[in-house]
Amino acid sequence: MPRFTFRLNGRAVAVDSWDPAQPLLYALRGPLALHGPKFGCGLGQCGACTVLVDKTATRSCTLPVSVAAGRDITTLEGLGTPEKPDPVQAAFIAEQAAQCGYCTNGMIVAAKALLLRTPKPTLEQIKQGLAGNLCRCGTHTRILRAVMRASQA
Amino acid sequence: MQTPASISRRDLLKAGGALVVSFAFAVGPRRSEGRGAAQTPASSNNARPLDPGEVDGLLAIHADGSVTLYTSKVDVGTGMRMALAQMAAEELGVAPARISVVEGDTSLCPDQGGTGGSTGLTRGGTEIRAAAATARRALLALGAAELNRPAAGLTITDGEVRPLAGGPGIGIGTLIGDRRFALKVDSMAPLTPAARHTSIGKPLLRPDVPDKCTGRHMYIQDFTLPGMLHGRVIRPPAIGATLISVDESSIRGIPDTRLVRVESFLAVVAKDEWAAVRAATALKATWTNWEGLPGHQGLDRYSRMAALDRDQSIVNRGDAPAAMRGAAKTLSATYFWPFQSHASLGPSCAVADVRADGSATVWSASQGTHGLRTNLARVFGLPPDKMRVIFLDGSGSYGTNGTDHVAADALLLSKTVGQPVRVQWMRHDEHGWDPKGPQQLLDVRAGLDAAGRIVAWETEMWVPNAAPGSRALLAADAARIPQEHGTGSGAITQNGEPPYDADNIRVVAHLIKETPLQLSNLRAPGKIANVFAVEGFTDELAVAAGVDPVEFRMKRLTDPRAIEAISRTASAFRWETRTSPNPRARQGNLLVGRGIAYMRYKQNENYVAMAMEVAVDPASGNIQVRRVTCAHDCGLIVNPDGLRNQVEGCIVQTLSRTLHEEVTFDRSRVTSVDWASYPILRFPEVPAIDVILINRPDQPLLGAGEAATAPVAAAVANAVFDATGVRLRTAPFTPERVKAALHP
Q: What is the DSSP string of B412-477?
A: HHHHHHTS-EEEE--HHHHHHHSPBBPPEEEEEEEEE-TT--EEEEEEEEEEE---SSPPPPHHHH
Residues B484, B470: Cα–Cα separation, whole Å: 6
Indicate which of A29, A99, A109, A124 best probes the interface with B, i.e. most B CBs within 10 Å of its own CB.
A99
pLDDT for position A1: 87
pLDDT for position B275: 98
Question: Which residues in chain B have their CB less than 8 angstroms from residue A130's CB?
Answer: 683
H or E segment and range at residue B652:
helix B640-659
Among chain B residues, CA nearest to A31? B19
Among chain A residues, CA nearest to B684? A127
H or E segment and range at residue B61:
strand B59-61
For the CA atoms of B433, B437, B443, B444, the dihedral, rounded to the nearest 10 degrees, stands at: -160
Question: Which residues in chain A have their CB less than 8 angstroms from residue B79's CB?
Answer: 99
pLDDT reading at B40 higher than 50 = no
Among chain A residues, CA nearest to B271? A30
CA distance B557 to chain A (A): 31
Among chain A residues, CA nearest to B394? A100
Beta carbons of A130 and B683 less than 8 Å apart: yes
Question: Which residues in chain B have their CB less than 8 angstroms from residue A29's CB?
Answer: 222, 273
Q: What is the mean pLDDT of chain A?
A: 97
CA-based nearest residue to B628, from B647, B607, B601: B647
pLDDT reading at B541 higher than 60 = yes
pLDDT for position B118: 79
Question: Which residues in chain B have their CB less than 8 angstroms from residue A19's CB?
Answer: 274-275, 278
Beta carbons of A142 and B645 less than 8 Å apart: yes
CA distance A45 to chain B (A): 6
Beta carbons of B215 and A36 less than 8 Å apart: yes
From residue B257, give the alpha-carbon distance in Å to each of B278, B280, B411, B740. 10, 10, 18, 52
* Angle in degrees, CA B170, B173, B175, rounded to 5: 60
Q: Looking at the partner chain, which of A37, A131, A136 has a beta carbon nearest the beta carbon of B683?
A: A131
Residues A146, B18: Cα–Cα separation, whole Å: 39
Beta carbons of B215 and A99 less than 8 Å apart: no
Question: Which residues in chain B have their CB less than 8 angstroms from residue A26's CB?
Answer: 272-274, 277
Question: Which residues in chain A have their CB less than 8 angstroms from residue B403's CB?
Answer: none
Q: Looking at the partner chain, which of A33, A45, A128 has a beta carbon nearest the beta carbon of B675?
A: A45
B8 band by pLDDT with thresholds 50, 70 and 90: very low
- Residue pair B742/B724 in contact (Cβ under 8 Å)? The answer is yes
H or E segment and range at residue B139:
helix B126-147
pLDDT for position B400: 96
pLDDT reading at B21 higher than 90 = no
Strand locations in chain A (E): 3-8, 11-16, 50-53, 56-59, 72-74
DSSP B292: -
Question: Which residues in chain A have their CB less than 8 angstroms from residue B77's CB?
Answer: 98-102, 137
Residues 6+ apart with CB under 8 A from A105: A36, A37, A38, A48, A49, A50, A75, A76, B215
A85 CB within 8 Å of a chain B CB? yes
A80 CB within 8 Å of a chain B CB? yes
pLDDT reading at B559 higher than 80 = yes
B39 band by pLDDT with thresholds 50, 70 and 90: very low
B458-481 in b/e burial notation, b at 16+ Cβ within 10 A? Answer: bbbbbbbbbbeebbbbbbbbbbeb
Q: Looking at the partner chain, which of B78, B675, B683 has a beta carbon nearest the beta carbon of A127?
A: B683
| Helix (DSSP H) and strand (DSSP E) numbers for chain B | 19, 25
B235 band by pLDDT with thresholds 50, 70 and 90: very high
From residue A17, give the alpha-carbon distance in Å to each of A73, B225, B251, B270, B740. 17, 21, 17, 14, 52
A110 CB within 8 Å of a chain B CB? no
Tell which A residues from 39 to 78 touch B, by Cβ distance under 8 Å.
39-43, 45-46, 48, 75-77
Dihedral over Cα of B267, B268, B272, B275: its sign: negative
pLDDT tens-place string over residues B449-508: 998 899 999 999 999 999 999 999 999 999 999 999 999 999 999 999 999 999 899 999
CA-based nearest residue to B519, from B492, B488, B493: B488
Indicate which of A50, A63, A100 best probes the interface with B, i.e. most B CBs within 10 Å of its own CB.
A100
Q: Which residues pair with B628 in a beta bridge?
A: B612, B689
Residues B88, B78: Cα–Cα separation, whole Å: 18
Quick one: what percent of chain B has pLDDT higher than 90? 92
pLDDT reading at B77 higher than 90 = yes
- Residue pair B624/B615 in contact (Cβ under 8 Å)? The answer is yes
| Average pLDDT of the segment spanning B62-67 | 97
CA distance A7 to chain B (A): 18
| Residue type, position B432, single letter | G
A136 CB within 8 Å of a chain B CB? yes
A125 CB within 8 Å of a chain B CB? no
B116 band by pLDDT with thresholds 50, 70 and 90: confident
Beta carbons of B686 and A140 less than 8 Å apart: yes
| Burial class of residue B482, CB neighbours in 10 A (0-12, 13-18, 19+) | exposed
Beta carbons of A33 and B273 less than 8 Å apart: no
CA distance B433 to chain A (A): 15
A146 band by pLDDT with thresholds 50, 70 and 90: very high
pLDDT for position B552: 97
Residues A19, A96: Cα–Cα separation, whole Å: 40
- Residue pair B446/B420 in contact (Cβ under 8 Å)? The answer is no
Q: What is the mean pLDDT of chain B?
A: 93
Among chain A residues, CA nearest to B681? A134
Beta carbons of A35 and B79 less than 8 Å apart: no
Dihedral over Cα of B388, B391, B397, B398: its sign: positive
> Phi and psi dihedrals of B391, rounded to 5?
-75, 135
pLDDT for position B24: 27
Indicate which of B82, B214, B392, B680 best probes the interface with A, i.e. most A CBs within 10 Å of its own CB.
B214
B294-330 in b/e burial notation, b at 16+ Cβ within 10 A? Answer: bebeebbebbeebeeeeeeebbeeeebeebbeebeeb
pLDDT reading at B30 higher than 70 = no
pLDDT tens-place string over residues B406-454: 999 999 999 999 999 999 999 999 999 999 999 999 999 999 999 889 9
pLDDT tens-place string over residues B637-652: 999 999 999 999 999 9
Residues B663, B672: Cα–Cα separation, whole Å: 6
| Complex confidence, ipTM | 0.99
pLDDT for position B196: 96
Question: Which residues in chain A have their CB less than 8 angstroms from residue B23's CB?
Answer: 33, 35
Beta carbons of B21 and A33 less than 8 Å apart: yes
pLDDT reading at B178 higher than 90 = no
pLDDT for position B685: 98
| Average pLDDT of the segment spanning B626-641 | 98
Beta carbons of A29 and B273 less than 8 Å apart: yes
For the CA atoms of B219, B220, B222, B227, the dihedral, rounded to the nearest 10 degrees, stands at: 150
Residues B535, B498: Cα–Cα separation, whole Å: 8
Among chain A residues, CA nearest to B392? A100
pLDDT reading at A90 higher than 70 = yes
pLDDT reading at B308 higher than 70 = yes
B3 band by pLDDT with thresholds 50, 70 and 90: very low
CA distance A30 to chain B (A): 7
Among chain B residues, CA nearest to A24? B274
| 3-state DSSP assignment of residue B2 | coil
How many Å from the N-terminal Cα to the C-terminal Cα in chain A?
Answer: 46
Among chain B residues, CA nearest to A106? B213
Beta carbons of B214 and A130 less than 8 Å apart: no
Q: How, if at all, do strands B505-512 and B454-464 pair?
A: parallel
